[in-house]
């Protein structure tokens, strides 16, 4: 069975059990502060488990793209070493939201595996939660056990502990016991030697977990206590690549058709064979795995970068590059070439891989180039570190610096040191690493209390498209502690006019006012797992009362103008630059807007002007907003609406239209393009290979911008004695300046020539050495020239020059190479030593070195001391 067919069979099976097939959510998560990437199928349904919103369907099935490289689930270090953990993988799942429970989940899982996929049930083991006697004091999962006993003989049922068989979403929230299904794919001979049940959960590569059935029946509160959920849910996850391994009769996920095309391509490019040596095998597995993670995330709109999710992606790619560099001996970019193979192979199931292939290739190639440069430079730095180390031990601090500041992989450092017979102070390195991790963890830590429920509301309604104020009630609130902002309150209303940050647009600010005049300011609004959360520094005196919720209308109007302008800008760029332009990120503030998009090469000044004119024409045309709030996704697309990759859209969407610009968008907009008033681009730059960024302003901000520009121009004219043509006046000044520069250089050269004659006559003999220590009036370059010219003319020369420039001191030391060797003199050490007289330091090579300092008054003393080095 081809993997494609396996995926379809799974989905079809659950469809036949009345499940609705839904698409995978994007891999990068945007509205959950506790999670960067989707790491399990349940993430996209968290809002239902938390009771924030009501699901449309109570039975759902899907294949979800997951990434396990950070946080609670981090498999990165395993990947490549073993044959069944990936960074990015697909999780097949079936879901019940308050519908069926353990019985159906268990029976269907068994039916699918043994009857549809025809896996020999003798090779399957199942586990049930054995209970705990800790503070949770939970009993054995009798219900699951009884159900399993009906279908599986007891010797293949395993009792699992809390670690393996009790699943929790986080420190708080929905949780419950689970049953795992494990498979034994060893040979009959091996099976007869050691029974499979002894190898379950023992990290054996041929006895692995394939499916986890989670029975969500509790909610964990902030104080750790468990409470029974009124509605119980099913959450299952089966590893698609592991299932393919089983059904294709392979011993490794990498031998299935999910990976073999990538591996063959790597073999062709690198001329290394897979399956010959463990070292190259690991490298090939790492690269074939990581390129998937990176390509899927770029296609989802997450580019490698220096912070957050982008940094995680960058690190995954760098791990792949480093394995290619060291173990496949490839010193130039090649991983980007695999994007083509991947898109051919998986582009049908994931069309974004096809449409974003060029971008993937470009971005990966550029990352490869820059990291290969880092590796080269890192190798040189490491060489210096080795030279400085004593007793064959290399400082962990230095290795950490190399890793942290320069991005040089620590395992590569360790490997090179081992090869060279040096020891790395691993303990010191780990200590540094831990310190850094603690620092960043502390900075982002949030502790949240339990929600205090005041009014029961099925779903908090957003009314902010039509209203800027409303009479509301507080539905629930809780206290949170953050390192950055201290104590805050999160408030959920029964309905709200406040727009929560999303789609690039900032959250609304404003206030809640009680009848008695009591006011609470809302400092920000955000969406968390589809819940609109208002942030406030304090709570109202009587939270149960009615409030008037009021949005800051001025800020909202400016933000709306910028958001609508962003749509017009998007339209303009596609018209003027071409249809290859795709939105890759946007930021809509009240003060300005920022728009990132795919385009190769700089946008020229003429194109910028054309874009501005296009947008300003749409503004002048005063086009009315046409908004469709609940239109079917496909219908909107058929009408020509633009959807973004990496965005999670429901069945029904909101379409925002201004004339011929139509986008799926949840943001707030002006009623008429005339309200934007005016549009001005303030900058255009590159963010990554093939990605450009435009920043722009609208309305009042443009007025301010023009008055500022006018003021600057006035000042320039003033400085140019009110010249009528300031451009010409500046050009003249520049020409004049260039001419003067030339003259000064000529004069300096002459001066140096004279100086050389003068200085040569001052050289004296000290212990058979041509010696001079002198204060001169030249810059650093002039001194160096002079010293080397004298060196060409005289042997056994020892020169010390001191000079004072801009209140700073500089000492330069020149020693003929043969003299330095014969008398064991080192210019670098000498200037370092003399540096103390000028309160500074420096160094360099044995034959030439300089030192700079803060105390020019010390130059003379330094020069007097120079002679001692010859005595």
Q: Which residues bind ligand ATP (CB under 6 A)?
A: 40, 68, 75, 85-86, 89, 91, 208-212, 237-239, 241-242
3 state SS of 588: strand
Smallest gap from Cβ 15 to ligand ATP, in A, equals 21
> Is 589 annotated in some ligand binding site?
no
Nearer to ligand ATP, 11 or 208 (CB): 208
Q: Strand pairing of 519-528 and 510-514? A: antiparallel
Task: Give DSSP secondary structure letters for 497-538.
Answer: -PPPBBTTBPPP-EEEEETTS-EEEEEEEEEETTEEEEEESS
Q: Which residues neighbour 677 within 8 Å (Cβ) at sequence distance 6 or greater?
A: 561, 619, 698, 699, 700, 702
Nearer to ligand ATP, 237 or 301 (CB): 237
The CA distance from 215 to 166, in Å, is 9
Nearer to ligand ATP, 316 or 468 (CB): 316
For 588-622, letters b (16+ CB in 10 Å) and e give: bbbebbbbbbbbeeebeeebbebbbebbbebbeee
Backbone angles phi, psi at 248, to 5 degrees: -95, 5
Beta bridge partners of 144: none
Task: Give DSSP secondary structure letters for 764-823.
Answer: EEETTEEEEEEE----HHHHHHHHHHHHHH-SSEEEEEEEEETTEEEEEEEE-HHHHHHT
Question: Hey, what are 871's tokens?
Answer: 């005595």
Smallest gap from Cβ 86 to ligand ATP, in A, equals 4
Question: Hey, what are 483's tokens?
Answer: 């390192």
Smallest gap from Cβ 214 to ligand ATP, in A, equals 8
447 within 8 A of 219, measured Cβ to Cβ:
no
Please name the residue that has the structure tokens 């960067």.
36
Backbone angles phi, psi at 201, to 5 degrees: 60, 30
304 within 8 A of 367, measured Cβ to Cβ:
yes
Smallest gap from Cβ 4 to ligand ATP, in A, equals 18
3 state SS of 141: coil
Nearer to ligand ATP, 82 or 804 (CB): 82
Smallest gap from Cβ 13 to ligand ATP, in A, equals 17
Q: 3-state SS of 304-360?
A: CCCCHHHHHHHHHHHHHHHHHHHHCCCCCCCHHHHHHHHHHHHCCCCHHHHHCHHHH
Nearer to ligand ATP, 111 or 675 (CB): 111
The CA distance from 104 to 296, in Å, is 33
Smallest gap from Cβ 93 to ligand ATP, in A, equals 9
Smallest gap from Cβ 41 to ligand ATP, in A, equals 8
Smallest gap from Cβ 620 to ligand ATP, in A, equals 55
Q: 3-state SS of 148-205?
A: HHHHCCHHHEEEECHHHHEEECCCCEEEEEEEEEEEECCCHHHHHHCCHHHCCCCCCC
> Is 290 annotated in some ligand binding site?
no
Residue nearest ligand ATP (C-beta atom): 239
Smallest gap from Cβ 391 to ligand ATP, in A, equals 41
Question: Hey, what are 385's tokens?
Answer: 């570190």
564 within 8 A of 695, measured Cβ to Cβ:
no
> Is 567 annotated in some ligand binding site?
yes
Nearer to ligand ATP, 77 or 660 (CB): 77
Smallest gap from Cβ 257 to ligand ATP, in A, equals 16
Nearer to ligand ATP, 323 or 477 (CB): 323
Nearer to ligand ATP, 200 or 491 (CB): 200
The CA distance from 49 to 254, in Å, is 34
Compute the half-sphere exposure of residue 848: CA atoms within 13 Å on the CB side of its CA. Answer: 11
Nearer to ligand ATP, 32 or 833 (CB): 32
Smallest gap from Cβ 182 to ligand ATP, in A, equals 8
Residue 610 Cα distances to 391, 578, 600, 697, angstroms: 66, 13, 18, 16
The CA distance from 94 to 65, in Å, is 14
Nearer to ligand ATP, 19 or 85 (CB): 85
Nearest Cα to Cα of residue 385 among 430, 419, 331, 422:
422
Nearest Cα to Cα of residue 181 among 250, 112, 248:
112
Smallest gap from Cβ 566 to ligand ATP, in A, equals 38
Nearer to ligand ATP, 12 or 168 (CB): 168
Please name the residue that has the structure tokens 């004339």.
659
Nearer to ligand ATP, 242 or 319 (CB): 242
Smallest gap from Cβ 189 to ligand ATP, in A, equals 25
Residue 642 Cα distances to 582, 656, 815, angstroms: 9, 10, 71
Q: Which residues neighbour 510 within 8 Å (Cβ) at sequence distance 6 or greater?
A: 498, 521, 522, 549, 550, 551, 552
Q: Which residues neighbour 251 within 8 Å (Cβ) at sequence distance 6 or greater?
A: 83, 185, 205, 206, 245
Nearer to ligand ATP, 91 or 811 (CB): 91
Smallest gap from Cβ 319 to ligand ATP, in A, equals 15
Smallest gap from Cβ 181 to ligand ATP, in A, equals 8
Q: Count of residues for the chain?
A: 871
Nearer to ligand ATP, 237 or 540 (CB): 237
Nearer to ligand ATP, 84 or 658 (CB): 84
| Helix (H) or strand (E) segment spanning residue 584 | strand 583-588
Which residue ranges make up the annotated binding site for Zn(2+)? 563, 567, 665, 669
Which residue ranges make up the annotated binding site? 563, 567, 665, 669
């Amino acid at each position: 069975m081809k993997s494609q067919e396996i995926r379809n069979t799974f989905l079809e099976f659950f469809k036949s059990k009345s499940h609705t097939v839904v698409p995978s959510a994007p891999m990068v998560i945007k509205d959950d502060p506790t999670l960067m990437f989707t790491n399990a199928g349940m993430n996209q349904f968290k809002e239902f488990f938390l009771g924030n919103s009501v699901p449309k369907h109570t039975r759902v099935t899907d294949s979800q793209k997951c990434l396990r490289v950070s946080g609670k689930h981090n498999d990165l270090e395993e990947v490549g070493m073993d044959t069944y953990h990936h960074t990015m993988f697909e999780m097949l799942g079936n879901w019940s939201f308050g519908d069926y429970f353990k019985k159906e989940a268990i029976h269907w899982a068994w039916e699918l595996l043994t009857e549809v996929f025809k896996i020999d049930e003798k090779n399957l083991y199942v586990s049930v939660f054995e209970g705990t006697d800790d503070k949770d004091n939970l009993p054995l999962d009798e219900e699951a056990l009884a159900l399993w006993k009906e279908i599986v003989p007891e010797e293949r049922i395993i009792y699992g502990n809390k670690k393996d068989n009790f699943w929790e979403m986080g420190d708080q929230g929905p949780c419950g016991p689970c049953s795992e299904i494990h498979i034994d794919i060893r040979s009959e001979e091996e099976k007869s030697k050691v029974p499979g049940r002894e190898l379950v959960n023992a990290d054996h590569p041929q006895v692995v977990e394939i499916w986890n059935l989670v029975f969500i029946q509790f909610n964990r509160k902030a104080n750790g206590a468990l409470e029974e959920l009124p509605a119980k849910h099913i959450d299952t996850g089966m590893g698609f690549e592991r299932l393919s391994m089983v059904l294709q009769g392979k011993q490794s996920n990498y031998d299935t058709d999910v990976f073999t095309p990538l591996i063959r391509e790597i073999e062709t490019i690198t001329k290394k064979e897979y399956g010959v040596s463990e070292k190259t095998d690991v490298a090939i597995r790492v690269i074939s795995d990581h390129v998937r993670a990176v390509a899927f995330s770029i296609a989802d709109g997450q580019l490698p970068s220096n912070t957050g999710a982008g940094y995680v992606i960058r690190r995954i790619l760098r791990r792949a590059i480093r394995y290619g560099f060291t173990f496949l001996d490839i010193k130039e970019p090649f991983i980007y070439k695999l994007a083509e193979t991947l898109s051919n192979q998986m582009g049908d199931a994931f069309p974004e891989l096809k449409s974003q292939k060029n971008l993937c290739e470009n971005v990966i190639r550029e990352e490869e180039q820059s990291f290969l440069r880092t590796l080269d430079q890192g190798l040189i730095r490491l060489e210096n570190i080795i030279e400085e180390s004593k007793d064959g031990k290399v400082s962990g601090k230095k290795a950490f610096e190399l890793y942290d500041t320069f991005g040089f992989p620590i395992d590569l450092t360790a490997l090179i040191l081992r090869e060279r017979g040096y020891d790395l102070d691993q303990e010191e390195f780990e200590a540094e690493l831990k310190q850094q991790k603690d620092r960043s963890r502390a900075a982002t830590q949030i502790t949240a209390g339990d929600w205090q429920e005041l009014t029961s509301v099925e779903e908090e309604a957003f009314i902010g498209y039509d209203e800027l104020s409303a009479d509301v009630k507080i539905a629930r609130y809780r206290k949170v502690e953050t390192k950055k902002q201290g104590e805050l309150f999160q408030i959920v209303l029964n309905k709200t006019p406040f727009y929560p940050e999303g789609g690039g647009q900032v959250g609304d600010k404003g206030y809640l006012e009680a009848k008695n005049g009591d006011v609470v300011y809302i400092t920000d609004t955000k969406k968390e797992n589809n819940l609109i959360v208002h942030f406030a520094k304090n709570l109202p005196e009587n939270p149960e009362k009615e409030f008037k919720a009021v949005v800051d209308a001025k800020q909202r109007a400016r933000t709306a103008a910028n958001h609508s302008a962003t749509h017009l800008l998007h339209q303009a760029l596609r018209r003027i630059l071409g249809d290859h332009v795709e939105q890759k990120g946007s930021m809509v503030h009240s003060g300005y807007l920022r728009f990132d998009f795919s385009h190769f090469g700089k946008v020229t000044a003429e194109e910028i002007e054309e874009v501005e004119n296009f947008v300003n024409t749409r503004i002048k045309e005063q086009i009315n907003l046409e908004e469709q709030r609940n239109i079917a996704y496909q219908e909107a697309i058929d009408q020509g609406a633009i959807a973004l990759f990496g965005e999670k859209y429901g069945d029904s969407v909101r379409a925002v239209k201004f004339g011929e610009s139509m986008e799926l968008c949840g943001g707030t907009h002006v009623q008429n393009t005339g309200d934007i008033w005016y549009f001005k681009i303030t900058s255009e730059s590159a963010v990554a290979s093939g990605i450009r960024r435009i920043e722009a302003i609208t309305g009042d901000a443009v007025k301010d911008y023009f008055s500022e520009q006018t003021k600057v121009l006035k000042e320039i004219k003033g400085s140019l004695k009110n010249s009528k043509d300031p451009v010409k006046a500046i050009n003249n000044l520049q020409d004049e300046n260039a001419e003067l520069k030339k003259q000064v250089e000529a004069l300096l050269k002459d001066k140096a020539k004279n100086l050389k004659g003068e200085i040569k006559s001052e050289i004296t003999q000290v212990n058979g050495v041509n010696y001079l220590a002198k204060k001169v009036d030249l810059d650093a370059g002039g001194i160096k020239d002079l010293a080397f010219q004298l060196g060409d003319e005289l042997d056994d020369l020892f020169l010390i020059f001191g000079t004072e420039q801009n209140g700073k001191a500089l000492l330069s030391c020149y020693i003929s190479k043969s003299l330095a060797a014969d008398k064991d003199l080192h210019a670098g050490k000498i200037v370092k030593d003399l540096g103390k007289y000028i309160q500074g330091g420096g160094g360099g090579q044995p034959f030439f070195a300089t030192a700079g300092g803060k105390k020019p008054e010390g130059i003379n003393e330094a020069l007097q001391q120079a002679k001692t080095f010859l005595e």
